[in-house]
Every structure is written in structure tokens, then in C-alpha cells.
Amino acid sequence: MTSMNLSRRSILAGASAVALAAPGPADAADPFGAAIASLEGRAPAAGPDPAIAVCARWVKAWRDVSEAADRSGDRMGQLRAAGFTDEAISEDPEYRVLDASFSRLEREEDDLRNEVPTTPATTLHGVIAKLSAWRMEEEHYGTGGDERFVQSALSDLRRLVHGDAGPAADEGRAAA
């Protein structure tokens, strides 16, 4: 008699393979969504994941702020090398334009930073986008990225795995 060792990992791997073997239109955007949905008995998310879009906008804004800071810092360095005082630097027309641009971009980036953790991921790709954005920032600064990105991604993952009601609903289904 052959023993069959069936684990959650083997089930997911098999379901993913089935979903990827015959990709439909939804599978192109989220290849694992159909597999996970079939295991959970619900339809895959319709349309693009909003978390992916907001993370992409935040990454662009984050890079724009970094470039603006470099331009502003370069101008400040030029003026300091020319002997300008801090007061004279703040009066320089070119520096003022660069500094105003930096401040505007920084506000936009901050608004998007606050939007990332409040935008629910509807697919695993959205969860990965949040974790990737966090990792990018963490690698850049070396001190850790915005932990809200990680907490949000974990909440989204729990919701995707356990459904909208969370782990408590699974416990209720197991008892029934």
C-alpha cells in the first residue's frame, strides 16, 4: 500500500500548476489568483490590483524626491563653495526654485506613502508590491523602510488567505 503525504504546499503547488497550465485572461495579470481562488471557492479579483498602482506611483515619487534633493543640494554646495552664507543661499533665485520643487515633491511623496498601507491589495502581486516598496527603501537607507508597508502587506495576505472575515472565520468553518 502506498502512503500519500499531502501537504498544503503540495496542494498549492498543484493548483498553481493547473492554473498556469491553461492561462485565461485573468491569469495574465495574476497567475496565482485563480489557483488560490479555486482552493477557496471564490472568484479571482477582477481588474488590476490598486495596491500595485499606488506602490508604483509611490516609487516614482520617492525617486523624484531623491533627484530633487540632489539638485537642491548640488546648488547649495555650489553657493557655499562660492562663499555664500546660509541667508544668502536662501535668497538665491535658482536655489529657491529648486527648494520649492523639492518641498512640493516631498509632500506628494508623503501623501502617497500614507496611501500605500491604506490601499488593500487584492492579489498576491499587490502584497509583493508593498513588500518590494518597503525593501527598496530599506536597502537605500539601511535602517529599515516604512513598517506600515509590511504590516499592511501581512494584513492583506491574511485577508487573501482567510477571506474577508479573517482567521476567526476559518476556525468557525472547521468547527462546523
Q: Give per-residue pLDDT as tens, 44-78.
A: 556 689 999 999 999 999 999 999 999 999 999 99
pTM of the model: 0.64
| Per-residue pLDDT, 155 | 93
3-state SS, one letter per residue, for the chain: CCCCCCCHHHHHHHHHHHHHHCCCHHHHHCCCHHHHHHHHCCCCCCCCCHHHHHHHHHHHHHHHHHHHHHHHHHHHHHHHHCCCCHHHHHHCHHHHHHHHHHHHHHHHHHHHHHHCCCCCCCCHHHHHHHHHHHHHHHHHHCCCCCHHHHHHHHHHHHHHHHCCCCHHHHHHHHHC
Q: What is the mean pLDDT of the chain?
A: 76
Helix (H) or strand (E) holding 104: helix 93-115
